[in-house]
Amino acid sequence: MRIYADRFPTAARQLLTDLLVVAWIYLWIRAAMWMHDLVQKLAVPGQKLEGAGGGLADNLADAGGKVGRVPVVGDDLTSPFEKAAGAARAMAEAGRDQQELVGDLAMALALALLVFPLGVVLMGWLPLRLRWVRRAGAARALRSAPAGRDLLALRALANQPIRRLTRIDPDVAQAWRRGDAEAVDALAALELRALGLRAAPVRR
């Protein structure tokens, strides 16, 4: 299976279109990454809150442990430190939650930014490209088949604009019905040329 035409103008146009599609996807992916990184900056306060809360909780817990070793009143003095350490841990947890929320938001916005451009590619360019590949593959197979010219001529009658058909013969359908070799060859060549494929050698 070949994905590009035989004839240079059509192949060049296909290659240029493919490169533009790749560039289009790349630019939108970069834009989505930029959006993700931009939103992720909102997580910095959460990171600082988590770090400060975690550090404060550790220091208070350490201080409470030391105070707890004081004879007689150690247990009573430890309680305020434990409560303060718990509050610091809650602050650190809030910082982590904020970071997770920002991370989810950044991912959602980045994916949302990709929906339209990828939709254009998947719903617009890709079906047309695959349709050409299928049609060109079938035409190549017919080109080398014994009765391929007749079938290609029939496809030309069904697919090609009337003005192109009448250039071959004013009554081109009748010429095809009676098996006019020149008309059949011209119709087959027209169908192949419309797909960007080289015509088969003319019959003698």
pLDDT in tens, the chain (204 residues): 788 998 888 999 999 999 999 999 999 999 999 999 999 988 888 888 888 888 877 777 777 666 666 665 556 667 776 787 788 888 888 888 889 999 999 999 999 999 999 999 999 999 999 999 999 988 888 887 768 888 898 889 988 898 999 888 888 888 888 888 888 889 988 999 999 998 766 554
| Residue 111 CB contacts under 8 Å (≥ 6 apart), including other chains | 32
Among the listed residues 52, 61, 125, the one whose alpha carbon sits nearest the alpha carbon of residue 93: 52
| Residue 6 CB contacts under 8 Å (≥ 6 apart), including other chains | 196, 197, 198
Domain boundaries, the chain: 8-133, 144-204
Q: By three-state DSSP, how is residue 23 classified?
A: helix
